A and B are shown apart, each in its own frame.
Chain A
Amino acid sequence: MNDDLFGSAVVLDLGPIPVTEGMVGSLVVTVGLLVVAAILGRAAERRPDSWPAAAGRMLVGFVQGIARDGAGHDAPMLAVFGATLFLFVAGSALYGQLPGVRAPTADLAVAATLALTVFFAVPIAGVRVRGVLGYLRHYTEGGVFLAPIEVISELSRTLALALRLFGNMMSGHLIVGLLVSLVGLLIPVPLMALDLAIGLIQAYIFTILACVYVGAAIQVEERQ
């Protein structure tokens, strides 16, 4: 139980690299997303009035809206980044509903990897848009003495991002597992529906927070 709760079990041993359940799940989700993206893209090309094309456009508009809210202006690269995070987290929540598997994001390593992606995307996007000095200047915006606090807040919000996603996905899995072992069939079904809804809301929140964090770094100052 110890290993299963926070990490995930090793399913395959490839020499120095143990392959865990979370890695397999991430791979399955990624391949599934690629297949869906190929189908939607082909549909959008061939028949722009079909429903897969409409679904694809709705998704793109949705994520572009989140990125615009985060950055304060249209940010195409941020929208791509946010769409990647949203689709992966939402796809993992859907994948976690399959019997016998757990969502890859219910593995602390996968959730922490996603949070670290956001952590590194902030300085990369900031330096690209505002230059090294312009990016470093935002640390001292509230005064030089607040700079260490800014650094601590960047670290702690990354930790919170990872733990929030991991905790939500893992607790749903845990509750369903407990109920299945206690009361058996059909009773956990409402909780599984709740788990799915929480997973999708968490995907939305993860995307919003990532876009707000990166968006704050690429915001061009509007000061007189």
Chain B
Amino acid sequence: MSDQTYIAVASILGAALVMGFGAFGAALGESRLGSAGMDAIARQPDESGNLARNMLVGLAMIESTAIFALVIALVLLFANPFVK
């Protein structure tokens, strides 16, 4: 195999690992936030609107770590600077 093939194989493997671990961490964080949010809403149903809004904001912030991983994976796949 030539060097370019090795680089391509490594990039695809790297993209898969990045996306897998990135989604793993984000999913763990989102599940914790989701359970805490549900808990809070169950305790204080009167505040559910406020709590749900803050929870959504937190979810989107955590989601953005997975999105960063997605951007890195897409750079590796489609805009890799080492693949000629």
Chain B residues within an 8 Å CB radius of A163: 64, 67-68, 71
Q: Which residue of A lies closest to B59 (CB)?
A: A201
Q: Which of B48-69 contact A (CB under 8 A)?
A: 56-57, 60-61, 63-64, 67-68
**Is A167 interfacial (CB 8 A cutoff)?**
yes
Chain A residues within an 8 Å CB radius of B63: 168
B79 touching A2, Cβ below 8 Å: yes
User: In the complex where A5-B74, A5-B78, A5-B79 touch, is A164 in contact with B57 (Cβ < 8 A)?
Assistant: no
Nearest-CB distance from A112 to chain B (Å)?
A: 12
Bound complex: CA A205 to CA B54 (Å): 10
Bound complex: CA A171 to CA B69 (Å): 11
Bound complex: CA A167 to CA B73 (Å): 11
Q: Which residue of A lies closest to B75 (CB)?
A: A6
Chain A residues within an 8 Å CB radius of B12: none
Chain B residues within an 8 Å CB radius of A166: 71
B56 touching A168, Cβ below 8 Å: no
Please give 17 more A-B residue pairs, beta carbons under 8 A apart, in addition to A167-B64, A168-B63, A205-B60: A1-B78, A2-B79, A5-B74, A5-B79, A6-B74, A6-B75, A6-B79, A160-B64, A163-B67, A166-B71, A167-B67, A167-B71, A168-B60, A168-B67, A170-B71, A201-B56, A201-B57
Question: Can you identify 5 A-B contacts, CB atoms within 8 angstroms?
Answer: A6-B74, A164-B67, A167-B70, A168-B64, A171-B70
| A-B interface, 4 closest residue pairs, ranked by CB to CB distance from nearest | A167-B67, A164-B64, A167-B71, A201-B60
